[in-house]
Amino acid sequence: MNDIMYAGKHLRTYNVQDHSHDNWEFIYCTSGQGDFWFDDESTLHYASGDLVIIPPHLDHKNESVKGFTNIHIRIDDATLPFKHATSITDDSDKHILRAFEDAFFYFNSSLDKKQLLVSALGNLIVNYVIAFQSNKPLSRVVETIKSSIVKNFPDCNYQLDEYLKSLPFNYDYLRKLFKNEMGITPHGYLTNMRMQTAEKLLSSQDQEYNVSKVAQMCGYDEPLYFSRVFKKQFGCSPINYAKRKKTN
């Protein structure tokens, strides 16, 4: 997963004809601006510092009046949560640009064992996209669901399914919308909130909590079920995790 299959550059370019790829395409604009046109008649504007991500097999063309330069990378089986072309903007320190420059350099170098670095950079770039994408403004209904989870996750009686079904939207639509915007399902987000809290409580150096108490504080009324979920998340039981943290 997240294997870089190709890394190239466009020098000053004005048009790229309609085409598609078998892999995900990641296009970082290093200067200029322009527009992508897709076969569903949608468009996506970009400018210097923007990264455009295009899923496999999606026909697209690139047009610019004044020209653009870019670094473009194709990644196989990218672990991304969305199915449509999207864009993100690099941060002020240009972390994504540095990853793209390194990926281009090492992919095209003759360095021994370069694949180790190229593989790591493929994972890094995909994770940057996931992290930066989550900073985009959320739709109102997704923000509402997220707020409900954050407010109620410690409550053992909180029923997320019932809450979702109480909203004036189709249940499956809400799950898909939440995952598209957050990169995770509502139930996955709830579990992550609970597990993050459990990890902090078990790592506390100021106060010790037994497993039953931690489970209750994280919204689980069954300590055994809580332990199974925790072990699946962290690879060890809550008791062993706490012991390991205390000895570190």
Whether 165 contacts 171, CB under 8 Å: yes
Domain residues for the domain of 226 are 140-247
156-162 long-range contacts (CB < 8 A, ≥24 apart) are: 156/216, 156/219, 156/220, 156/221, 158/219, 160/186, 160/187, 160/190
Q: Is there a single domain that holds both residue 10 and residue 128?
A: yes
Q: Among 183, 145, 188, 192, which Cα is nearest to 164's?
A: 145
* pLDDT tens digit sequence for 204-214: 766 778 999 99
Report the pLDDT averaged over residues 87-93. Answer: 85
* pLDDT tens digit sequence for 148-161: 999 999 999 999 99
Range of 184-188, 195-199, 224-228 with top mean pLDDT = 224-228
Residues whose CB falls within 8 Å of the CB of residue 202, separated by 6 or more in sequence, listed in order: 209, 214, 238, 241, 242, 245
- The answer to whether residue 57 scores a pLDDT higher than 70 is yes
Q: What is the CATH number of the domain that holds 162?
A: 1.10.10.60
Q: Is there a single domain that holds both residue 182 and residue 95?
A: no
Per-residue pLDDT at 208: 79
Alpha carbon distance, N-terminus to C-terminus of the chain? 33
Q: Is there a single domain that holds both residue 31 and residue 74?
A: yes
Per-residue pLDDT at 63: 94
Q: Is there a single domain that holds both residue 14 and residue 119?
A: yes
Structure tokens at 70: 């870019």
- The answer to whether residue 70 scores a pLDDT higher than 80 is yes
Q: Is there a single domain that holds both residue 160 and residue 72?
A: no
* pLDDT tens digit sequence for 101-127: 999 999 999 998 899 999 999 999 999
Q: Is there a single domain that holds both residue 123 and residue 145?
A: no
pLDDT band of 248, cuts 50, 70, 90: low
Q: Say how many C-beta atoms besides its own lie within 10 A of residue 104's C-beta.
A: 19
- Out of 133, 152, 186, a domain closes at 133
Per-residue pLDDT at 135: 61
Give the mean pLDDT of the chain.
90
Q: Is there a single domain that holds both residue 14 and residue 123?
A: yes
- Out of 133, 165, 198, a domain closes at 133
Helices (H), 95-185: 95-107, 114-133, 140-152, 160-166, 171-182
pTM to 2 decimals? 0.56
- Out of 133, 152, 178, a domain closes at 133
Q: Is there a single domain that holds both residue 121 and residue 177?
A: no
Q: Is there a single domain that holds both residue 157 and residue 50?
A: no
Report the pLDDT averaged over residues 26-40. Answer: 93
Q: What is the CATH number of the domain that holds 70?
A: 2.60.120.280
Three-class SS state of 48: coil
Per-residue pLDDT at 31: 96
- The answer to whether residue 191 scores a pLDDT higher than 90 is yes
Residues whose CB falls within 8 Å of the CB of residue 132, separated by 6 or more in sequence, listed in order: 88, 89, 90, 91, 96
Number of domains in the chain: 2
- The answer to whether residue 81 scores a pLDDT higher than 80 is no
Q: Is there a single domain that holds both residue 53 and residue 165?
A: no
Q: Is there a single domain that holds both residue 107 and residue 200?
A: no
Q: Is there a single domain that holds both residue 101 and residue 148?
A: no
